Amino acid sequence: MRRYGIRADIHYNTEENVIIAVFELPGVKRNDLRITMSMCPFTRVRQINIAGISRPVLPSQGHGVRERKYGQFMRTLAVPPETKPKDVQITLEDGVLTLKIPGGTPAEAEEPQELAIP
C-alpha cells in the first residue's frame, strides 16, 4: 500500500536549544497515530517516525471533489543522536501534532566538501 507524506514546519530555537516540529493531521485520531523512535541501520541516524491512517469523513458514493488525502501516511524526522523518548514532548490538538525535541550538543560547523564525479 502506498503511503503519503504529511506536511510539517520544523524550527530550531537557538535560544532554548529545542527543535519544534509541527505536523498537519486534520481529523486523525490518537488511536490512528503511532510515533516511534529508532536508529537507521544504514546511516546510524536517530529518527522519529510518525505513521498512521487518515480516514475519509464523507461517503465515497455519488459525486464530489476530494482534495484532502486519505489512507496511510508516514514521516521521518532526524533527531540528535542523544535524544531519548522520555525527552520528547508531544501534543495533538485540533488536528496539529507538535513535537518538542531537545537540540542536543551542537556540532562544530564545517565547510562543505566537494565530491568528485568520476
Percent of the chain at pLDDT exceeding 70: 90
Averaged pLDDT score across all residues of the chain: 89
80-85 long-range Cβ contacts below 8 angstroms, 24+ apart: 80/19, 80/46, 80/104, 80/105, 81/45, 81/46, 83/37, 83/46, 83/48, 85/37
Q: Where are the domains of the chain?
A: 8-56+69-102
Q: Could you read off the pLDDT of 56-91 as tens digits, one per residue?
A: 776 667 767 666 777 889 999 999 999 999 999 999
pTM, two decimal places: 0.82
Q: What's 8-56+69-102's CATH class?
A: mainly beta
pLDDT of residue 98: 98
Q: Looking at the predicted structure, is the pLDDT value of residue 27 above 90?
A: no
- The pLDDT value recorded for residue 4 is 79
Q: What is the pLDDT of residue 63?
A: 66
